Amino acid sequence: MEYAFGADEAGRGPALGSMFVAAVAVDDRDAIPAGVDDSKKLSRARRDDLAAALRDDDRVRASVVEVPTERIDDPATDMNALTVDAQSTALDAVVEAGQSGVVDACDTDAERFASRVADGVDADVALRAEHGADETYPVVSAASVLAKAARDDHVDALAATYGEVGSGYPSDPTTRTFLSEYVETHGDLPDCARESWGTCQDALAAAEQSALDQF
Annotated binding site: 8-9, 104
* CB contact at 8 A, 134 and 143: yes
Residues whose CB is less than 8 angstroms from the CB of residue 45 and which lie 6 or more positions away in sequence, other chains included: none
How far CA 75 is from CA of 12, 67, 72, 182, 201, in Å, comes to: 16, 15, 8, 24, 15
Instruction: Write the burial class of residue 20 (CB in 10 Å: 0-12 exposed, 13-18 middle, 19+ buried).
Output: buried
Question: How far is the C-alpha of 99 from the C-alpha of 95, rounded, in Å?
Answer: 7
Strand order in the sheet with 5-10: 60-67, 19-26, 5-10, 100-104, 126-130
Consecutive H or E run containing 160: helix 138-162
* CB contact at 8 A, 23 and 63: yes
Annotated binding site for a divalent metal cation: 8-9, 104
Residues whose CB is less than 8 angstroms from the CB of residue 35 and which lie 6 or more positions away in sequence, other chains included: 42, 46, 50
